[in-house]
Structure 1
Amino acid sequence: MPAFTLPFRRPRTRSLATAGSIAVGALLLAACGSGTTPDDATAGGDRAKPAPALHSHIHGLGIDPEDGRLYVATHEGIFTADDTGSPRLVGDSRDDFMGFTVAGARTFLASGHPAPGSDQPADHGLIKSTDAGRSWKSASLKGEADFHSLDHAKGVIYGYDSTRGLLRVSKDDGTSWQNRAQLQALDFAVDPADPSRVVATTAEGVARSTDGGATFGPGEGPGMEYLSWASPGSLFGIDFTGALSLSSDGGSTWRKTATVPGGQPQALTAVDDRHLLAATQDGIYESQDAGKTFTKRLSVESGDHH
């Protein structure tokens, strides 16, 4: 079971509720495949030059349902792939995007911190984009909350506020919030068909709530880093080794289905019960068959974190 880092510190360079078992170093995000160009010939023959790379840690993943485009929330902005497959900054924000979720067509919710040198408060609270990440507006709790994980279901938004170790819920599009359980968690997920059912990763295992996050039972079962609830019968979890598991009963029991390539995870998003995205130490991987096979969408290499 992975070691956990208590979520009550507020360094600006911290990753999304990062477990102690995950390396603190930043990751180098680069495209693979078609984004390469010939390099100078050497004695060993021609070498391919890697596509332009971005030094940044990955905090979240999502697919815009309007066009199927991949979006990557990082320590230095939101990125997508350009026509050549290389990572491209969306808009001009270099803010640190922590919690991130796609709430609908061209509609994203996020939290995090302003870029260095900004005169804005250290914590964004909840911010919202309605143009696929090109621009952002404050929705609520500016300067008051740092959501390291966000999820939504049937018009209900949940956020895990790492500054207080507190789960919060909004039923009016993120305008106002109610406090729910206080717990030490890395990630959580909400049943897409029933927002009163919430699961959270804890040091003891996956804890479950049936009252909208007001109370949680004890953590049980395998230790997970990240969770994503695709449909009522498809709750996915990934542990610190990259092992992917599936629960068809809301987290009561789990069945290992695969190991995502690339080592320790950074993010997990289940778009539906077959379409998965996972960021690990060496890449962003996509599965279209519920984790039976994975294809690398973008490459990730270790580097210094700034």
Structure 2
Amino acid sequence: MPGRSANRRIWAIGLVAVLVLTAAVLIGSRWRDRAGTDHHAATTTVSHVHGLAVNPADGQLYVATHHGVVRMSHNQASLVGDARQDTMGFAVVGPNTFLASGHPAPGQPGPAHLGLIESRDGGDSWHSLLLAGHADFHVLRTTGAITYGLDSTSGTLMASSDRTTWDSRSQIDAYDLAVDPKRADIILATTERGVQRSTDGGRTWQPSGGPPALLLHWQDAERLYAIGVDGRILLSSDGGDTWSPTGGTAPDAPVAFTVHGDQLFVATRSGDVRRSSDSGASWHALETSLS
């Protein structure tokens, strides 16, 4: 994993340099950390964010961090449950049902890679599904019956229809993934070669022809969002064939992105979490001090 993590940093930083972007787009520093890196010291604020998603059970934003999962509710941030694992590949797949991967907290028993873990109580508790000790999913995406996972230990895109058996689909050094909500075989991936598209469930890839992007969110059949490497918020209504700027710009150094209704949420490298209700034209900072 260290080699692939380093490669992601190199290509991303190089891409920024080539495009003469500002230091705001430090995309190579997102959250591709080595297993065992100790960032687990006691924390009093949201930091080192790996993922964002809204839980349909309560409509609240959940933030996956190096210190566990944080719920942002009524302008308060609080750690959920007692688990303090390094929560990566975070995905909300249903009301109070989460998937994740990552690494155990210091002193927590078990292998260095958590494999695929699941919570069915809104993050209060977690249990292992499979691949503990073998897979480190830095990205997890699910659509319908299919779950895709990007394993950082091997650079392999894996797929499962039951979350118990997995099929290795292809090797791809991707930064983020988005899956068509209606057609699970269609996937977009942000890479050093630009956005790549697969129409066969990740077995093969071709350039999408779209603008270089860092983060993706496929909200529904009509709305596919991207944060470009220049920080612009982009929107596609045809599955990524064409893109239009919304007129908004992401906060500096975005590392995680999600959309819920007309609300855009972005977390930054510094640990800020911000919300926009006008397609990124303006942003409101959420409270990140832990209560």
TM, length-normalised to structure 1: 0.78
How far residue 289 of structure 1 moved from its aligned partner, in angstroms, is 4.7
Query: 2:244 maps to what in 1?
Result: 255
Q: Output aligned runs, 1:220-231, within 5 Å.
A: 220-231=209-220
Match status 1:70 vs 2:54: no
Query: 1:200 maps to what in 2?
Result: 189
Query: 1:152 maps to what in 2?
Result: 142
In structure 2, do the counterparts of structure 1 residues 226 and 219 end up closer, same or farther at CA, with 3 Å as the change threshold?
Answer: same
Letter in 2 for 1:104: G
Unaligned runs of 5+ in 2: 14-25, 32-42
C-alpha separation between the residues in 2 aligned to 1:24 and 1:184?
Answer: 15
The question of whether the paired residues in 2 share the 8 Å contact of 1:204 and 1:219 is answered with no
How far residue 170 of structure 1 moved from its aligned partner, in angstroms, is 0.7
The question of whether the paired residues in 1 share the 8 Å contact of 2:156 and 2:169 is answered with yes
C-alpha separation between the residues in 2 aligned to 1:241 and 1:77?
Answer: 30
Unaligned runs of 5+ in 1: 27-51, 301-306
C-alpha separation between the residues in 1 aligned to 2:166 and 2:276?
Answer: 35
Query: 1:42 maps to what in 2?
Result: none
How far residue 290 of structure 1 moved from its aligned partner, in angstroms, is 4.3
C-alpha separation between the residues in 2 aligned to 1:260 and 1:281?
Answer: 16
Match status 1:126 vs 2:122: no
In structure 2, do the counterparts of structure 1 residues 206 and 197 end up closer, same or farther at CA, with 3 Å as the change threshold?
Answer: same
Give 3-state SS (helix, strand or coil) of 1:135's partner: coil
Give 3-state SS (helix, strand or coil) of 1:8's partner: helix
Superposition CA RMSD, Å: 2.8
Query: 1:171 maps to what in 2?
Result: 161
The question of whether the paired residues in 2 share the 8 Å contact of 1:99 and 1:148 is answered with yes
Q: 4+ runs of 1 displaced by more than 6 Å?
A: none
TM, length-normalised to structure 2: 0.82
In structure 2, do the counterparts of structure 1 residues 192 and 114 end up closer, same or farther at CA, with 3 Å as the change threshold?
Answer: same
Match status 1:141 vs 2:150: no
Letter in 1 for 2:171: Q
Give 3-state SS (helix, strand or coil) of 1:221's partner: coil
Letter in 2 for 1:111: S
Give the paired residue count: 264
In structure 2, do the counterparts of structure 1 residues 289 and 259 end up closer, same or farther at CA, with 3 Å as the change threshold?
Answer: closer
Letter in 2 for 1:88: S
Query: 1:22 maps to what in 2?
Result: 27
Cα displacement string for residues 20-72 of structure 1 (whole angstroms, at most 9, x for unaligned residues): 4337499xxxxxxxxxxxxxxxxxxxxxxxxx942620111111111111110
Give 3-state SS (helix, strand or coil) of 2:45's partner: strand
C-alpha separation between the residues in 1 aligned to 2:3 and 2:145?
Answer: 27
How far residue 169 of structure 1 moved from its aligned partner, in angstroms, is 0.7
- Out of 253, 265, 282, the residue aligned to residue 277 of structure 1 is 265
Which of the two has higher C-alpha Rg? 1
In structure 2, do the counterparts of structure 1 residues 112 and 18 end up closer, same or farther at CA, with 3 Å as the change threshold?
Answer: farther
In structure 2, do the counterparts of structure 1 residues 25 and 233 end up closer, same or farther at CA, with 3 Å as the change threshold?
Answer: closer
Over the matched positions of the two proteins, sequence identity in percent amounts to 44
The question of whether the paired residues in 2 share the 8 Å contact of 1:6 and 1:184 is answered with no
How far residue 19 of structure 1 moved from its aligned partner, in angstroms, is 4.1
Query: 1:36 maps to what in 2?
Result: none
Query: 2:4 maps to what in 1?
Result: 8
C-alpha separation between the residues in 2 aligned to 1:221 and 1:95?
Answer: 36
Match status 1:57 vs 2:48: yes
